[in-house]
Amino acid sequence: MIQNVFVELSILILIVVAISGIMRILKQPLIIGYILSGLIVSPSFFHIVGAADAIATFAEIGVAFLLFMVGLNLNLKVIKDVGRVALVTGLGQVAFTSVVGFIVCILFGFSKIVSLYVAVGLTFSSTIIVMKLLTDKKETDSLYGKIAIGFLIVQDIIAIFILIFLSSFTGDVNLSSFVIKTFLGGVGLLVSLYFIGRYILPPVTKAIAKSQEFLLLFSIGWCMVLGSLFHFLHFSLEGGALLAGITLSMSPYRYEISSRMKPLRDFFIVMFFVLLGTRIDLSAMGTYTIPIILFSAFVLIGTPIIMMAIMGLMNYTKRNSFLTGITVAQISEFSLILIALGVKLGHLTGDILSFMTIIGLITIAGSSYFMMYSKKLYNFLSPYLKIFERSGKKVDEHKYHKDMRYDIYLFGYNRIGYDILNSIKKTGKNSLVIDYNPEIIIDLAKKGYDCRYGDASDTELLDELNFSDAKMIVSTIPDIEINTLLLNRCKKGNKNTIMIFVSHSIEETMQLYDMGASYVVMPHFLGGHHASVMIEEHGLKLNQFLKEKVKHIKDLKTRKTIDHDHPNTARSRN
């Protein structure tokens, strides 16, 4: 039997690899490939794999690891940074979407319990999908990226409580015992886990961290033991796994745990989405065709409109409202976990799981393209989005300069721009810094620099800037499309302007030179060049290298205070 299960899983993995490869070519999230793979091997198509019990077990482990990682990386500081807007949009979007979804479900003839599940499932957006796409675009530090991450955390917290609530509630318990068990028992568990995570786990993980393998083993054990404990106490196994991650998030070794757990999570979560695919019954979907189309359109179009309306009322610009809004245009892995839990508890039938999974496929695919081409979509739709923008000063403008002509424009301050701005300051010329991270702009304003929040790909922003008298334009953003846009705008304004760009590709560098760039900086080659210059200048004089070392350490300490610690991560695009 073991050999048969192994062979069947091998076939399944090969199919997943092939379908996922197609998804990569189509620039779609791999989750779609996983679900389609499950559909292909299901009885609805080829009925290739019969090891349903093994897949179901792996799927349950995958969900536990997924929620463990969510808890481990739960960064409440992000909510603090964007504060009010993250909380209002998170709660507001959940409230509006669930109410509208519930009413529409009732109109379609669904029962109240099914309508409630579906309505709540439609409210959650995918943390995995949104974070992956924001990271790929290197826009997690942008204002709209921070707001999106903030309201996703709010949604995740809401989803956690819903999962705990549902797994604790069954039809054969009276209300008073349910309240005592769930709320009093749950509060007791949460308080106990807080003290364990705050005072016991940090020193334990510090001792264990001497062995990375032992740290990984302990983390897996803690996740599974706490999940099993919650299951034994008739709480949510998923909630236990998530709280296991939250308690370990207080450990200084949470990043090491996260990096080592990620491959395990990725493998097992594949089985969860494959299992969803195997449970799609296409023969029963004919009666759900119109609801699937309507709810998919509601998630893809209606939910972003709700988000834009909320942010517009909070006095945000239509651009940030739009870019934030389209990040919610898909249902979440939490939505599918919620519906699967409803089926497990007997509240829902398998048809509803198939129904929601198909909506998930449609919305995840659609929203992925929305986010990938968000800037182009905004430029096209911008004239029609004025209804979402209130008149007057906007809370996200962050404009700290006078309307005047500038000799030098610097796009992107972080890291490379840090040194460039210091040199610009020495020239004594008027300069304006544009950066898409509002925190950087506020910090520069406090230091007395002329600066403003903005994205170099925003054509409306570029229309406001006057390049006609610019002597120099510097872009530290290694994006060929953005730099091409800046170069063409600059050439229209003043052909004699010095234009300096940053590139990480030789091919793109040559392309910029062919279009008329004055100079292109390639950071990857500068380190070796700098070291070679020092060797030629200092030869074998140790004292000279030690002097360079002292200067370098001083510079590194300064950079660390302004968050320049990880220049090669995807947290920033400049």
Lookup: tokens for 162: 């819903």
Mean pLDDT, the chain, integer: 82
Lookup: tokens for 84: 């009010």
Torsion sign across C-alpha atoms 409, 412, 414, 415 = negative
Tell me, which fold does domain 2-387 have in CATH? Na+/H+ antiporter like fold (1.20.1530)
Q: Which amino acid is at 473?
A: I
Mean pLDDT throughout 52-65?
81
The helix (H) or strand (E) run that includes residue 457 is none
pLDDT band at 240 (very low <50, low <70, confident <90, very high): confident
3-class SS shares of the chain: helix, strand, coil, % to 5: 70, 5, 25
In this structure, whether the domain defined by 399-561 belongs to CATH 2.60.40.1510 is answered with no
Lookup: tokens for 367: 């929203």
pLDDT at 391 exceeding the cut of 70:
yes
Q: Which amino acid is at 193?
A: L
Mean pLDDT throughout 204-226?
87
pLDDT band at 390 (very low <50, low <70, confident <90, very high): confident
pLDDT at 47 exceeding the cut of 90:
no
* pLDDT attached to residue 562: 66
The per-residue pLDDT for range 438-477, each reduced to its tens digit, is 888 888 898 889 999 888 888 888 888 888 888 999 999 8
pLDDT at 245 exceeding the cut of 70:
yes
Lookup: tokens for 249: 């998030």
pLDDT band at 483 (very low <50, low <70, confident <90, very high): very high
Task: Round to whole Å and give the CA distance between 409 and 472.
Answer: 7
Instruction: Estimate to the nearest angstrom the gap between the alpha carbon of 190 and the chain centroid.
Output: 27
Backbone conformation region of residue 346, classed left if phi is above 0, alpha if psi is from -120 to 50, else beta:
left
* pLDDT attached to residue 153: 79
**Count of residues making up the chain:** 574
Task: Round to whole Å and give the CA distance between 436 and 514.
Answer: 28
User: Is residue 451 helix, strand or coil?
Assistant: strand
Q: What is the full DSSP assignment across 23-76?
A: HHHTT--HHHHHHHHHHHHSTTTT-----HHHHHHHHHHHHHHHHHHHHHT--H
More confident site: 568 or 474: 474
* pLDDT attached to residue 176: 54
Mean pLDDT throughout 74-78?
61
pLDDT at 571 exceeding the cut of 50:
no
pTM score, whole prediction:
0.73
Q: What is the full DSSP assignment across 123-166?
A: H---HHHHHHHHHHTT-TTSHHHHHHHHHHHHHHHHHHHHHHHH
User: Percent of the chain at pLDDT above 70?
Assistant: 90
Task: Round to whole Å and give the CA distance between 524 and 420.
Answer: 17
Task: Round to whole Å and give the CA distance between 199 and 207.
Answer: 14
pLDDT at 274 exceeding the cut of 50:
yes
User: Percent of the chain at pLDDT above 90?
Assistant: 18
- The answer for residues whose C-beta is within 8 angstroms of residue 417's C-beta and 6 or more apart is 410, 433, 435, 474, 476, 574
pLDDT at 570 exceeding the cut of 70:
no
pLDDT at 569 exceeding the cut of 60:
no
* DSSP 8-state class, residue 317: -
Task: Round to whole Å and give the CA distance between 434 and 564.
Answer: 18
* pLDDT attached to residue 45: 80
Domains of the chain, residue spans? 2-387, 399-561
pLDDT at 518 exceeding the cut of 90:
yes
pLDDT at 527 exceeding the cut of 70:
yes
Lookup: tokens for 550: 């002292």
431 phi/psi in degrees, rounded to 5: -140, 150
Q: Between β-strands 399-400 and 451-453, what pairing exists: parallel, antiparallel or unpaired? A: antiparallel
Mean pLDDT throughout 481-510?
89
Mean pLDDT throughout 86-92?
85
Q: Which amino acid is at 500?
A: I
The per-residue pLDDT for range 504-513, each reduced to its tens digit, is 889 999 999 9
* pLDDT attached to residue 78: 58
pLDDT at 519 exceeding the cut of 90:
yes
CB 331 within 8 A of CB 124: yes
pLDDT at 574 exceeding the cut of 60:
no
Q: Is 480 exposed, middle or buried (0-12, 13-18, 19+ CB in 10 A)?
A: middle
Least confident of 321-335, 366-380, 393-407: 393-407
* pLDDT attached to residue 567: 44
Query: How many of the other CB atoms lie within 10 Å of CB of 226?
Result: 25
Cα torsion for 259, 261, 267, 271, to the nearest 10°? -140
- The answer for residues whose C-beta is within 8 angstroms of residue 122's C-beta and 6 or more apart is 97, 98, 101, 295, 298, 299, 303, 331, 335, 359
CB 385 within 8 A of CB 308: yes
Residue position matching structure tokens 């669904």: 110
* pLDDT attached to residue 2: 46
